[in-house]
Each structure stands twice: as C-alpha cells, then as structure tokens.
Chains A and B, each alone.
Chain A
Amino acid sequence: MKTFNELKKNLKKDFSKLKTVKLAVLGDSATQLLVQAIKCYGYETGHNFDIYEADYAQIERQIFDSSSELYRFNPEFIIVFHSSQKLLKNFYKLDNSEKAVFAEKHINYISNLYHAVASQLKSKIILFNYSEINDSIFGNYANKTNLSFIYQLRRINLELMNLAQQLNNFFIVDLCLQQSHYGTEFMIDHKVFMSTDIIFSIDFLPVIAKNAVDAITATLGNIKKCVILDLDNTAWGGLIGDDGIENIQIGDLGAGKAFTELQLWLKQLKQRGIILAVCSKNDEDAAKEPFHKHPDMVLTIDDIAVFVANWEDKPANIRYIQSVLNIGFDSMVFLDDSPFERNMVRAHIPDITVPELPEDPAEYLSYLRTLNLFETASFTGEDGQRTRQYQQEAQRAVVQMRCASEDDFLAGLNMYSDVSPVDKFNSPRVAQLTQRSNQFNLRTIRYTDEDMQHIRGSDQFLTFAFTLEDTFGDYGLISAVFLKKRAQGLFVDTWLMSCRVLKRGMESFVLNTIVESARRNGYEEIVGEYIPTLKNGMVKDHYKNLGFKKVEGKDNEWCLAVGEYKNLKTHISVKA
C-alpha cells in the first residue's frame, strides 16, 4: 500500500478525466488529512471525489439543519466519522443509570441522523464504526458489567450492524477491524492527536482511506466477480505432474495446511457468489485428478466454473476464461505463485488484479485478506448459484458448437422467460443488477433497494423484470426495463441485461414485451437513450439494431413508433 506521502503526490495529477463522485465528510475531530487521503486514494481507483468537508465538529448541525451546506451540496455519499475518543468523553459525563443505556441511546441518535438525511437526500451514508478503547477502569471485569465503556462500545458496533441490515442507504466501514489488524498504537499518534485533534496517524490514513473508498466504489459497481487460480504451489504444494497425487501437499502433508486454509477461503468466496476458475500449466487429466481423487482437497470440480489446464500461455487462457464468463477483466483476480506468470499476465492484461503473493504459502491467506478484494454493496441468496450457472453456460457452448446454425441452436434450447413487474420479492435482485451490470446497460443508472421501492411504488413508471431458463438450467432474473411515462410516450429510463444471456435473442423478447405493454396502455412511442460509458460500447447500436429511428438533433436518442411495430422473431416463450 502506498504511504500517505506517496498518495499525496496524486494531488498534482489530472483528475478531470476520472468519474466525478460527490462526497461529504463530516467528523467530530479534525478531518483535513483524512479528506486528503480519500481524495488521493480516489485517483488510484479512477475516481474524482468532489469533496465537501464540513467544518470541525459539525455533524449534528449539518444533518439536522435542513438548510445546511450539506443539503445544498447534495452529495452521493456522506462519510460520518464519530471518534471513540469523543464517545468516551460523553460516556464519562453520565451517571450509572444513563451509562447502562448508552449504546441504545447512541443507536437511536445514529438512526435519527440517517432518517434526517434520508428525508431530503438520496445520499448513501458511510459510517465508520468505533475503534475500541481499553480505558482500564474495570480491567477484564469490564466484560462482566454493562457499565463499562467497552461493553457499551461493543454493543454499539453490534447494533450498527443490525441497523445497517435494516437501512438500505447505510453502510459501515469497519474501523474496528482495521484497528485489530494494525493495532491502536499504529492507528493513533497520541502526540499528534493531543496537539491537533487529528485522530489517525499519518501511516494509518491510507488504510482507512482505502476502506472508505472500497465501500463507496463497491456501490458504484466496482467489484470483483471472479478468482482465477493457478494450481501447482498455489492451490496445493508441489507439482502434480512431477510429484504425483500422493505427494502433493494438502491437508496434513508438508506445508499442506496453508493450502487447505486457502482452499477453505476460496470455497467460502464461491458460496458468496465469486466465480472460481482454474488456469494451470498442466495436462488436463493430471490437473483434475486431485479434484476427483484427493481426500484432502476442499475444492471440488463442481466449485470450478471454468477449468483450463494446458500448455498455452496464461494470458491467452485468461482471455478464453473471460470470453466464457463474459465479465470485465477489471472484475477478475489472478492468483499464481510464480512471479514470472504474474508479470506476464499483468503485462498483457493490465486491468486484471494480480496480488503479489508472498513467497511463503503460509502467508498467502493473511496477505490476501488484507487486500479487501471482495468488497461488495449487496448480497442476495441467488449469488451462491452463480458457479452452476456458468458451468451450464460452458455446456451450452459445447452444444452450440455442434449445431448447424445459431437459429437451430436457439430453437433447441427451449427457452422460457417469466415476466413480472418489479415487486418486493425481486426488487433486491433488480437493484443489484443495476449496480453490477456495466456492459449491457444503456444508461448505467445505479439504483439502491430504497430507490427501487420508490420506483415500483410510483405511478410514473412501468417496470419489467425478466427471468430466463432453458434446457440446461435456470439463469434467474437477468434483465430489467423501467419505462418512465411522458406526455407523448414512454422513455426508457433503464434497460439492462446480464451478459450471461447475450445472443439468446433476449433483447427481441424484451422489446416485444414492452411494446405490447405500451400499446395496451395507449402510448404511441417509446424513446430510448444510450449514455456511453467506458464499458457499455456493446450496446452502442442497440436501439438502431432493434429498429428504432434516430431522434433528429439528438446524438444518442432513438424513437420507436408503437403503431408500426411488428413483433421481432424470438425463440423465447413466456413462462406460463
């Protein structure tokens, strides 16, 4: 990680081409250096944070005064940082009966902050939780009384997690966890704190800035979706081709424990919805043997969405994996013990993340954990199904190769789609799609769960959510369209689709569906807009290809006359 001083050099760089994100920072201590660190870390992730920093200790005034600068600034994100040091001071002022309910009261106060903001702004609140302070008033007995500061503080941190589960636009940055990793003496420079009221040490600033920026950019769709794993000396110790299955190190053999731990971790990631792929220089049969036969392997062949073992170079194999998965290189992580392979992949695929694994496998996991690679802004039950869906995709690819024409192939898939408006059941998944979809996304407007509630409750929108299933399996909910009602017609506010179902004719099916709905509701035209981003070039001609006519004088607006529309051919049927 770069030091604060190295990060600060970014201040002189050109931010003008980066994505601008409006951010307010409110704190009860001096936050200038924190703001600098966030600004500079943003450059590293390609974000130009336009930051409003409230004056010292103005959290309440900015949030409870509805005419404050905060509301005029109208940020996308608000970082709120209450320090434990101030919390402790407040706690000490109380008598015992008040101390006993301190956490409860504080959570109420945080909840009030949230609701005051939410009543006026759509901003997401990013709250730092509380670093622990051992005030040594009770010693270890502090665990045995609810009147100790640490009891109340830990309760606050726990209740914050509960609160975050209820409130959609409320996210926690786990300062406490960083403290437990780096230590209090690293986190705080007491002398600097005493003389300036700056809490975080210079060395800790990059750590907290990274975590805050990770949390923010995850909600903007900046997330990892896939781990590509080397095998020899990465997934197990030794070389399967040379050492044979009895001698590779996994489980109790040799340094096997380190690899077992790594595999356990990868398996959990897979269950969370991260796709695992293998990229190994081996004969395929040899590479797969441990997955099938070794009793100590944690990962099984079913955990791997795409398995590539051959003697081609790794960048070519990773490009192949990317083409099957259809996700951006910037959402992939490549794990390999060999510095040579790592550098080769970095050189050929600059967007992929390639952790510089430590030499000693015993340190792999603890190192990987510090990188916080898998920050996310949402989690749904469907996420865990993803690997199976990609495996089904690989099977489809095999069948497709055998089919004479694409049309035959599609006809043979027996595709069905369930069409429904966005409702309370599918709403979280639809919101997640708006956050995750980058390529097939016409306007790339991101919506939170809370925004979705608003849209589906509004009579200004027609909403559609589409699932898709075929002979090989169920893709789940893969496309959504929101149409905004206008005087003459409907405006396509959002049209997005998961790239897993490209080239299935889904777009035609979707258009047939929405035109029919427009007709039924008496609308004469549908207007679509394409807002270009770095990633959505694939839908540049989306409307043109579907028969929309260019709107005169507008660069990226397209119009379809409902009356003249003839249904497009599709092999997808409505699911009964």
Chain B
Amino acid sequence: MEKAEILKQVNKIFIDVLDNEGIVLKDETVAKDVEEWDSLTHIQLIVASEKHFKIKFTSSEIQGLRNVGHFCDEIQRKLGR
C-alpha cells in the first residue's frame, strides 16, 4: 500500500477514535498537536489501527513511535512483510 493511502486511512481512524472531524494528520504530527491524543487514547488508536490493517505492534515498537509519519512507515513495513 502507498504511504499516502496509509496516512489517509490512519487519519480516518484518528477521526473516529478521537471523535473529532477536524483532524488533519501530517507526517510530522505528534501527540501534542492533537487535543484529544493523550496516553489513554493513544492505546485506543494503536488497537484500532492494528485491527484495521490486521497487523500487530510489539510493546517496544509502540514506545518507540516518534510521529505519525513514523507510525505509517511501521504499518507499511508490517504490511509489506
């Protein structure tokens, strides 16, 4: 899957989980840029993404995520396998 397409789908997941239509993610977006994105919703975003893309993250991968772009890279890497 193209990374742009992954970002688009991740954006949809964020809108759904955080219940905020106005979210527009970019590669460099981090948690503090999005009001509802905190440590609790973070877990929900990961779990929702895992379900959507049918992949699994390890706990160290979750802790190592830097920003949305990196998150999408990880998804792409797992999908490519």
Contacts and interface: CB of A to CB of B under 8 A. Distances in A.
Interface stretch (B24-32, B36-44, B67-75): B36-44
A5 B48 contact: yes
A198 interface: yes
A195 B62 contact: yes
Contact of A5 (B40, B44, B59): B44
B16 A191 contact: no
Interface string A1-44: 00011001101100000000000000000001100000000000
Contacts of A8: 19
A458 interface: no
Interface string A466-478: 0000000000000
Contact of A33 (B19, B40, B63): B40
Nearest to B19: A9
A191 B19 contact: no
B44 A202 contact: yes
Interface string B9-39: 0000000110100000000000000000001
Interface string A188-220: 010110111010011000000000000000000
B63 A12 contact: no
Interface residues of A, number: 17
The B interface is mostly helix, strand or loop, or mixed, namely helix
Contact of A192 (B16, B19, B47, B48): B47
A196 B48 contact: no
Contacts, number: 35
B57 interface: yes
Contacts of B46: 192
Contacts of B17: 5
Nearest to A30: B40
A191 B57 contact: yes
Nearest to A6: B16
B63 A195 contact: yes
B39 A196 contact: yes
Given A5-B16, A8-B19, A189 B47 contact: yes
A338 B44 CA distance: 38
Contact of A196 (B19, B43, B57): B43
Contact of B43 (A5, A9, A11, A192): A192
Contact of B62 (A12, A33, A191, A198): A191
Contacts of A32: 40
Contacts of A198: 43
A30 to B, nearest CB: 9
Contacts of B56: 191
Contact of A4 (B19, B39, B44): B44
10 contacts: A4-B44, A5-B16, A9-B19, A32-B40, A192-B47, A194-B59, A195-B62, A196-B39, A198-B43, A202-B47
Interface of B: 16-17, 19, 39-40, 43-44, 46-48, 56-59, 62-63
Across chains A and B, which 5 residue pairs bring their CB atoms closest together, nearest first?
A191-B59, A195-B59, A202-B47, A194-B59, A192-B43
